[in-house]
Structure 1
Amino acid sequence: MTLKASYEHVGCDDCPIRHRAVCAHCEKDELEELEAIKYYRSFEAGQTIIWSGDPMSFVGSVVSGIASLTQTMEDGRTQMVGLLLPSDFVGRPGREAAPYDVVATTDLVMCCFRRAPFEEMMATTPHIAQRLLEMTLDELDAAREWMLVLGRKTAREKIASLLSIIARRDASVNRKGLLGPIAFDLPLTREAMADYLGLTLETVSRQISALKKDQVIQLEGKRHVIIPDMRSLLDEAGDDSDGGFLV
């Protein structure tokens, strides 16, 4: 059974991102309306989900996997400007064209809604409009904090910040606490981390090794990360609270 097929038999009530997604506040009758217009799409790692400027016939939520938002300049230079993690929303109601390239960084499954019916439902379903507003404001806060990460933080702080973002999101989606050791599979290659953080590959590898040597993180293989104490990682990230900047 493919990953996409495994979700096609899951109702909204049992969806793993239900508590965080755009439908989080929906009542039973509203979920039934969404069920009528939803469908799943799967993408392989490296596959483009939508090109910048292309018309968007759908919107939706990332169910599993991770995607990147990338902007390309006229001379061909590109910059990764954001990450989409499970429960993040893709597309913007009211806007017909995509503002960024959206590329699957890992194998990815999306719960999609046809754009026109979704926009109509937004107009008549305050729970959806309210949740989408909350998510948009969270995204704005995250963008402002990310400006601080890229503009003012050291390479070590950047790596620690990115790891803390992914750890907290993984804990939230899977409803795990942040007390005690936290383990997750890093969804980004070191090359992708370097691109996103504006660092060289060598710097990323060096700083990860330094965090491991100082016992801030533990690594099993190249991707499995264990954080013995979240407070220590947040200290390394230069954060003065555990609220973080991507929730």
Structure 2
Amino acid sequence: MVREDIHTTGVPVLCVSCEARHRGICGALNAGQLVDLAKSTKRHKAEAGKELVGDSRSVERFSNVLSGVVKLTKTLSDGRQQIVGLQFAPDFLGRPFQSESTLSAEAATDVELCSFPRQALERMIKEQPDLEHRLLEQKLRELDQARDWMVALGRKTASEKIASFLLMIARNIDP
């Protein structure tokens, strides 16, 4: 049982201890908004190797990564895949206002996700500038990480690539 205090009063039980409420996009929402979103929220786990989002597929739900690592890939016309990023808790998985995915997302490790309907989140983004701002900050961090990833893959030596990868993991693992 979680003790109610000034920081948890009115917050859905589902959200009280969630890292995404503090460091992720849900941190921009007040208790009432969290309650509204929680009404259509589903928490679920996926085993390593399970596809979470398919490339060029319709997107009905977005997710916060609660634990584990999600691998983002692009598939070339000949079937080869390129890893274009990794996501960790409390990263947001998805791209609002786009009905079709532009990449694949796969559980690189066992993961836990908190998913909500695309339409509900897109409505909240339009109504809540703080949520839009938090999402923009997170997506810009993702862009910076993608640029670092390109440099690592394109210009670094093998040992520098390994060091960069280990540093990225160390910065993102749970404390």
TM tier, shorter chain?
Answer: 0.7 to 0.9
What residue is the counterpart of 1:118 in the other structure?
121
Greater gyration radius: 1
What residue is the counterpart of 1:106 in the other structure?
109
What is the distance in 2 between the residues matched to 1:141 and 1:30? 29
What residue is the counterpart of 1:161 in the other structure?
164
1:84-95 mapped onto 2 (5 Å cutoff):
84-95=87-98
CA contact (8 A) 1:68 1:104 kept: yes
What residue is the counterpart of 1:235 in the other structure?
none
Q: Which runs of 5+ in 1 are unaligned?
A: 1-8, 175-247
Q: CA deviation at 1:102?
A: 1.0
1:134 equivalent to 2:137? Answer yes
What residue is the counterpart of 1:231 in the other structure?
none
What is the distance in 2 between the residues matched to 1:14 and 1:68? 25
Q: CA deviation at 1:117?
A: 1.1
Q: CA deviation at 1:10?
A: 4.7
Cα deviation 1:90-149 (Å, max 9, x = unaligned): 111110111111111111111001001111111111221110010011111111122211
* Letter aligned with residue 157 of structure 1: E
**TM-score in terms of structure 1 length:** 0.63
1:165-180 mapped onto 2 (5 Å cutoff):
165-170=168-173, 173-174=174-175
* Letter aligned with residue 114 of structure 2: C
How many residue pairs end up in the alignment? 164
3-state SS, counterpart of residue 18 of structure 1: helix
CA contact (8 A) 1:30 1:125 kept: no
What is the distance in 2 between the residues matched to 1:24 and 1:132? 10
Q: CA deviation at 1:13?
A: 2.5
CA RMSD after TM alignment? 1.6
Aligned-residue identity in percent:
40
Cα deviation 1:4-28 (Å, max 9, x = unaligned): xxxxx95313113332211122222
Q: CA deviation at 1:55?
A: 0.3
**TM-score in terms of structure 2 length:** 0.87
What residue is the counterpart of 1:181 in the other structure?
none
* Letter aligned with residue 113 of structure 2: M
Cα deviation 1:42-98 (Å, max 9, x = unaligned): 211111112101101000111111111111111111111111111111111110111
Ranges of 4+ aligned residues in structure 1 off by more than 6 Å? none
What residue is the counterpart of 1:17 in the other structure?
20
3-state SS, counterpart of residue 37 of structure 1: coil
What is the distance in 1 between the residues matched to 2:13 and 2:160? 39
What is the distance in 2 between the residues matched to 1:136 and 1:52? 19
What is the distance in 1 between the residues matched to 2:129 and 2:40? 18
When residues 146 and 130 of structure 1 are mapped into structure 2, their CA distance, relative to the original with a 3 A threshold, is: same
Q: Which runs of 5+ in 2 are unaligned?
A: 1-11
* Letter aligned with residue 36 of structure 1: K
